[in-house]
Amino acid sequence: MTAPNRQRRRRVDARHNSERVLAAAIEVFTEHGLEATIPEVAARAGVGKATVYRSYPTKADLVRELALLHLDWIDELAGAALDAARTDAYHALEALLERIATRLAEDRLMVEVLSGVDGIEDERLDNQLEQLLALAHAQGRLRPDATAMDVQVLVAGVARALIELEIGDPAVWRRYARLALSALRPE
């Protein structure tokens, strides 16, 4: 086997191992919370600890990667909502928040990793949310003073309250997402 072929094979193996580690991390952290250890993740993935640490030098790095996966999912949803917003921005924003609320109700790991990782900024999501709000303002569907921060605070507040109340019913989460957003409708 030539050197380039060996390198290519190593890259494929590394990518495969990384995918196995992420899948195992999701399973282990879902079962045991973020208190679970890297050795537990490595065992579930069928790799050695060194393999995990090669890709994720600290547990915080692994948790950050999981948070980024969730943000990528939200970015995709927000992009689709932005496309739908051209005709009705309020309903597009409402549908986006309902989808996110449903996932949060069903995936407590998502809640933990997104709330447990400091300094995660997602400019794409921020820009998409700003564009959604601009369209909703232009269509007269949101209060003129409604901001992206308002949406984030309302949604985060709802999520925290529902988590503290241990409510896991997605229909309830969707209801409160709609109620929170309705606070931003024109008076």
Q: What is the DSSP string of 62-116?
A: HHHHHHHHHHHHHHHHHHHHHHHHHHHHHHHHHHHHHHHHHHHHH-HHHHHHHHH
Tokens of 116: 């447990």
The pLDDT of 125-154, averaged and rounded, is 93
Asked if residue 87 lies in contact with residue 166, where contact means CB atoms within 8 angstroms, the answer is no
Q: What is the pLDDT of residues 4-22, one digit of tens each?
A: 554 555 566 777 888 999 9
* 12 vs 106, higher pLDDT: 106
Q: What is the pLDDT of residues 39-95, one digit of tens each?
A: 999 999 999 999 999 889 999 999 999 988 888 999 999 999 999 999 999 999 999
166 conformational bin, left if phi > 0, alpha if psi -120 to 50, beta if neither: left
CATH T-level topology, domain 1-57: Arc Repressor Mutant, subunit A (1.10.10)
Determine the pLDDT at residue 3.
54
Determine the pLDDT at residue 6.
45
Tokens of 26: 């999701």
Asked if residue 106 lies in contact with residue 147, where contact means CB atoms within 8 angstroms, the answer is no
Determine the pLDDT at residue 2.
58
pTM for the structure as a whole: 0.81
